[in-house]
Every structure is written in C-alpha cells, then in structure tokens.
Amino acid sequence: MEEIDKLSKERVRAHIKKMWSNKGGCTVCKSNSWEILEDTFLIANKSVDRPFPVSVVVCARCGNTMFFSNELVAEQTPDPLKILD
C-alpha cells in the first residue's frame, strides 16, 4: 500500500482529472499546462501534533500553485498504476 505521505504523480493526476470541474483551466491565466511536483510537502498545523501532507500542482505558465490533500487523494482515487497489475 502506498504511503499517504508520498503519492505517485499518476495518482495525483488521476485525482485532479476526476475532480476538476472547469476542465483543468488555471483560475489565473486559463492555461491548461500543469506540473505536479515530485516531492510531498508537509504543512505545519499547530492545532494537531502532526504535519498535513500535500501534493503540489503548479501552473507552468503563470506559477499559480495549488495544494491537494494526500489523505483525500488516497481515500478517493485508486492508484492507476496498481489497477494495471
């Protein structure tokens, strides 16, 4: 089972494709060219004792940056690479 702290780019891409309602256009520049960063980022949360793992997606045209909860991605979207096995 894939760790929540580290999701594959393919799984994040599948989640975005499934959930995105405006066909993937950037809210800033309307481009549809995105880069999913390789690393998982941990956002500190002072109200709980553990960091919040997120995947980061950046618009390749304007730099608009979005964070996707690794916990929700793992919960809602199966890994497409595991389905093929």
Question: Can you give the pLDDT of all 85 residues of the chain as single tens digits?
Answer: 346 667 888 888 888 888 887 677 899 999 989 999 988 999 998 888 888 899 999 999 999 999 999 999 989 988 776 655 4
Position 20 scores a pLDDT of: 81
Position 84 scores a pLDDT of: 52
Terminal CA-CA length for the chain: 13
Position 1 scores a pLDDT of: 35
Position 54 scores a pLDDT of: 94
Please state the domain extents for the chain.
9-78
Order the strands of the 65-69 sheet from edge to edge. 34-43, 52-59, 65-69
CA angle 9, 55, 7 (to 5 degrees): 45
**β-pairing, 65-69 with 52-59?**
antiparallel
Q: How many CB atoms lie within 10 A of CB 73?
A: 23
